[in-house]
């Protein structure tokens, strides 16, 4: 597509199941998301086929977590499969970066803790410093709510689930509680000089942060 916008297929299944087409002009061209999904693999494949019927992405971005083993694996494996099939590069981006990007895009500044559901009565937590540039100042890590001291501004489902312990989230809309592929893709398109660590392109190694619940039989 000479002279045209580069199209990215973004996939995130760290919490919600979400797929999107994002272009290099900063536009989300299409997005399909189901929040609090349990059957990520069943949702993601058909959703990708729907939004890519008339479009061939030039690269694939996958959210690498932190997130639970089963859901995270589904999105990453699907992304790798599509990238191989299309013959395009694939990169990973921290899923929490998508929520930090949304916060920054809506004018939130200062220290912000993103916390998402890690199950087992724990949360995944990352703290960012949002301003003219963005940096990660703590995490990502998995922690009990009682052991987390969040920043004054709190984003993510972890604060919805454990509000009595951690305090209420700054925003409660679905898009502020679980990462979406649209925000993940936009985050990855951002100019590195403006956002520093936010949206850094990584490999596709998942950030499980702990061993999976289901262990292979010996």
Are 7-94+179-195 and 97-177 equal in CATH topology?
yes
Place of tokens 């951002």: 190
Return per-residue pLDDT of the chain as tens, 218 residues: 445 789 999 999 999 999 999 999 999 999 999 996 678 889 999 999 999 999 999 999 999 999 999 899 999 999 999 999 999 999 999 999 999 999 999 999 999 999 999 999 999 999 999 988 788 999 999 999 999 999 999 999 999 999 999 999 999 999 999 999 999 999 887 644 444 456 678 899 999 998 655 444 44
CATH number for the region 7-94+179-195 comes to 3.30.420.40
Fold adopted by 97-177: Nucleotidyltransferase; domain 5 (3.30.420)
Q: Determine the Cα angle at 63 with ends 33 and 132, to 5°.
A: 100
- Taking CA atoms, 38 is separated from 33, 50, 71, 75, 203, in Å, by 12, 20, 7, 12, 25
Q: How many CB atoms lie within 10 A of CB 200?
A: 16
> Token digits for 128?
């960012």
Q: Is the backbone peptide bond immediately before 140 cis, with ω within 30 degrees of 0?
A: yes
The arrangement of strands across the sheet holding 59-63 comes to 28-34, 17-23, 7-12, 59-63, 90-93
pLDDT given for residue 200 in this prediction: 76
* Helix%, strand%, coil% for the chain, nearest 5: 30, 30, 40
What are the extents of the domains in the chain? Answer: 7-94+179-195, 97-177
- Taking CA atoms, 142 is separated from 53, 136, 206, in Å, by 38, 15, 14
Give the separation between CA 154 and CA 170, rounded to whole angstroms: 6
Cross-strand bridge partners of residue 142: 124
Place of tokens 């920054």: 104
Query: Which are the contacts of 84, defined by CB distance < 8 A and separation ≥ 6?
Result: none
């Amino acid at each position: 597509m000479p002279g045209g916008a580069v199209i990215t297929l973004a996939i995130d299944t760290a919490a919600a199941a979400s797929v999107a087409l994002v272009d290099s002009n900063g536009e989300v061209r299409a997005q399909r998301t189901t929040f609090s999904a349990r059957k990520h693999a069943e949702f993601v494949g058909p959703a990708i086929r729907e939004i890519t019927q008339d479009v061939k992405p030039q690269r694939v971005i996958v959210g690498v977590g932190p997130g639970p083993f089963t859901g995270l694996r589904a999105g990453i494996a699907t992304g790798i499969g599509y990238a191989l099939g299309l013959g395009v590069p694939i990169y990973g981006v921290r899923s929490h970066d998508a929520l930090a990007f949304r916060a920054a895009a809506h004018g939130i500044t200062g220290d912000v803790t993103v916390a998402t559901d890690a199950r087992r009565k724990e949360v995944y937590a990352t703290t960012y410093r949002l301003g003219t540039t963005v940096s990660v100042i703590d995490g990502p890590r998995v922690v009990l709510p009682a052991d987390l001291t969040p920043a004054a501004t709190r984003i993510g489902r972890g604060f919805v689930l454990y509000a009595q312990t951690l305090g209420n989230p700054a925003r409660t809309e679905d898009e502020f509680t679980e990462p979406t592929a649209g925000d993940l893709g936009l985050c990855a398109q951002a100019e590195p000089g403006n956002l520093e660590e936010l949206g850094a392109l990584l490999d596709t190694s998942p950030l499980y942060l702990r061993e999976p619940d289901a262990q292979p039989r010996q």
